[in-house]
A and B are shown apart, each in its own frame.
Chain A
Amino acid sequence: MWSWLFHRISGLGILLFLFIHIVDVSMLSFGPDVYNQSVTLFDYWIVRLLSLSLVVAVLYHAFNGVRIMAIDFWRKGSRYQRAMFGAVLVLTLVVFIPVAYIIMLPALHWLTQMPHSTAGH
């Protein structure tokens, strides 16, 4: 049941981001200044934190999607569904941690108040 609920919530969250993303990409039509302004928005550390929630939602939704297909198409899928849910959670976390570190790295110096040439906004 939790796997099902997380799948719905993450799916809805990703769809919401997709709408925002189509709009921010459409800023390309207004030229470099407008578009780069929208890129600046994604560079803020608080928006980087928000993108971490996107990454975790995408990873969970992707791995749990594989689990759903395994339950549907693999003969032993339903027998191992519980173990596979555990694997989905572990895999999500294992992939998320390094990606989160890489995304937050340019903003980490700002967060710790250290002067740095690549400090964010």
Chain B
Amino acid sequence: MLRISTGRGPRPAMGSNFETFSWYYFRVSGAVLLIMVLVHLFIMHVSNDVSCTTYAFVAARYSNIFWRVFDWLLLTLALTHGMNGLRIFIDDYVRKPGARMWLMSIAALLLLVFFMLGTITLITFQPVTSALGAQCLPR
């Protein structure tokens, strides 16, 4: 279980192994993200120009289930890795009990909302066939 020090009273009792899990999670997800993010950056900014990553480009890409699964894994790992980082940020720098509680709650809500928004976008995307064809933006 995750126990967060509220700043009131004594520190939470040890015996929670969430911090150990978190420590390993940063490293394991980081190792996977290292490969996935660099592949993603290469595809979107080097082998293709950003002006060619249009709706038609995404439609062609997402006709293959592999890229939807790839992007969902990227979303999940990057968001949980990043939000765990934000949690440690708040834990380190916010001292006031009330502010800690609010910021931790907002962070948890942000994680949920952005995870759901990304997942829904990935799952529900059905390309409009009229938009297929030329991929680069007109100049």
Contacts and interface: CB of A to CB of B under 8 A. Distances in A.
Interface in A62-121: 62, 65-66, 68-69, 72, 99, 102-103, 106, 117-120
B64 to A, nearest CB: 16
A46 interface: no
Contacts, number: 102
B76 to A, nearest CB: 11
B46 A99 contact: yes
Nearest to A65: B30
Nearest to B139: A118
B53 A39 contact: yes
Interface residues of B, number: 39
Contacts of B33: 62
Interface in B14-56: 27, 30-31, 33-34, 37-38, 41, 45-46, 49-51, 53-56
Contacts of B27: 68-69, 72
Q: Provide the main secondary structure of the chain A interface.
A: helix
B117 interface: yes
A106 B49 contact: yes
Contacts of B124: 29
A12 B89 contact: yes
B12 interface: no
A41 to B, nearest CB: 10
Interface of B: 27, 30-31, 33-34, 37-38, 41, 45-46, 49-51, 53-56, 58, 75, 78-79, 82-83, 85-86, 89, 110, 114, 117-118, 120-121, 124-125, 128, 130-131, 137, 139
Given A31-B55, A62-B34, 11 more contacts: A12-B85, A15-B85, A22-B117, A25-B121, A29-B121, A29-B124, A36-B55, A39-B50, A51-B50, A99-B41, A103-B50
23 contacts: A8-B89, A11-B82, A11-B85, A12-B86, A14-B82, A15-B83, A18-B79, A22-B79, A26-B117, A26-B120, A28-B121, A29-B121, A31-B128, A40-B137, A43-B51, A58-B37, A58-B38, A65-B34, A69-B30, A99-B45, A106-B51, A118-B139, A119-B139
